[in-house]
């Protein structure tokens, strides 16, 4: 099947591991990702913090481009997904005739995780599992933007989302339940207020350990960066040892399919994600 694809700026660089594992998984499922030609940045937090009209017009331009292709658009970055959905919502309001873009809503904007965890694709993913990840104990961390606010995202289980849990269980993973699936990691403050991030992320690490997990699984490259990159710094500040690898769900699908490429993706992480998998005999 063919869908449109809006990768977003970070998948071109810092989140290369996410991009490569998505390409592998979609390739394996026979999903053809057609990148929206000449897509532009969605504006992210910067736009909605500084200029309302740009916060709609920047993602709006991409919706118009996607609708020209006429295929549903799949978005791996929850921030981009959230901004595109917000633009969709605003553009379709009758009161906002001044907006420069058109979007009739004939195509659907998908969050990648939601797209891949629908029942038919889930069974396809499961059918390709060559080694169940049965000794791996993880928590699923969903972050903010794929689910909130539900009036924009259209998600029902926004306080306790289940789709990543279900998907990982289908890979054989031991998924621990915890209450912090959608607590914020503060990603928008990574550069200007790292102190805020350190406090929020350290709290999450503690909750992960309380839940008895040995790793975190995410579907957001900002959450990944925010939980992975400063781990050594946070350990130093709070005088505590942490070793919690942060995997993308797509990487773990790849590992369960015995993807040879998995080691390349994992080599891009900051917190060593390979030793744990080696210990479990998975890579």
Could you give the 3-state DSSP secondary structure of residue 114?
helix
Tokens read off for 111:
């969050």
Is residue 75 within 8 Å of residue 84, measured between CB atoms? yes
Q: Quick one: which of 4, 117, 163, 188 contacts other proteins (CB under 8 A)?
A: 188
Alpha helix locations (H) across the chain?
A: 16-28, 44-50, 52-69, 78-91, 112-116, 119-127, 150-153, 163-170, 194-210, 221-228, 231-237, 249-256, 262-266, 274-279
| Binding of other proteins by 23 (CB under 8 A) | no
CB 245 → other proteins: shortest distance, Å? 14
| Binding of other proteins by 39 (CB under 8 A) | yes
- From residue 48 to residue 67, the character string flagging contacts with other proteins as x (rule: CB under 8 A) and all else as - is xxxxxxxx-xx--x------
| Binding of other proteins by 44 (CB under 8 A) | yes
Cis preceding linkage at 77, omega within 30 = no
First to last CA, the chain: 30
Tell me the number of residues near other proteins by CB under 8 A: 55
Report the residue number, 121 or 189, with the smaller CB distance to other proteins: 189
| Binding of other proteins by 271 (CB under 8 A) | no
CB 68 → other proteins: shortest distance, Å? 13
Task: Map tokens 């070793």 to a residue.
Answer: 243
Binding residues for other proteins (CB under 8 A):
9-10, 12-17, 38-41, 43-55, 57-58, 61, 100, 144-145, 148-150, 158, 182-184, 186-189, 191-193, 195-196, 199-200, 229, 233, 267-270
């Amino acid at each position: 099947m063919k869908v449109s694809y809006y990768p977003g700026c970070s998948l071109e660089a810092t989140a290369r591991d996410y991009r490569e594992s998505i390409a592998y998984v979609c390739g394996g499922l026979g999903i053809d990702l057609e990148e929206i030609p000449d897509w532009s940045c969605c504006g992210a937090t910067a736009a909605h913090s500084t200029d309302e009209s740009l916060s709609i017009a920047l993602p709006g331009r991409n919706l118009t481009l996607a609708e020209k292709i006429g295929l549903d658009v799949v978005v791996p970055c929850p921030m981009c997904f959230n901004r595109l959905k917000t633009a969709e919502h605003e553009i379709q309001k009758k009161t906002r005739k001044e907006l420069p873009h058109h979007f009739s809503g004939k195509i659907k904007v998908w969050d990648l995780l939601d797209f891949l965890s629908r029942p038919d694709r889930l069974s396809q993913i499961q059918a390709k599992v060559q080694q169940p990840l049965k000794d791996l104990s993880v928590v699923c961390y969903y972050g903010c933007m794929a689910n909130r606010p539900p009036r924009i995202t259209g998600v029902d289980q926004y306080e306790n989302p289940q789709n990543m849990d279900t998907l990982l269980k289908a890979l054989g993973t031991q998924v621990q339940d915890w209450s912090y699936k959608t607590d914020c990691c503060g990603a928008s403050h990574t550069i200007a207020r790292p102190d805020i991030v350190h406090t929020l992320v350290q709290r999450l690490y503690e909750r992960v350990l309380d839940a008895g997990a040995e790793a975190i699984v995410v579907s957001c490259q900002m959450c990944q960066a925010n939980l992975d990159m400063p781990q050594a710094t946070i350990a130093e500040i709070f005088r505590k040892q942490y070793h919690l690898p942060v995997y993308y769900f797509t990487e773990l699908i790849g590992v369960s399919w015995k993807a040879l490429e998995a080691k390349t993706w994992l080599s891009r992480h900051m917190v060593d994600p390979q030793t744990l998998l080696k210990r479990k005999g998975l890579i």
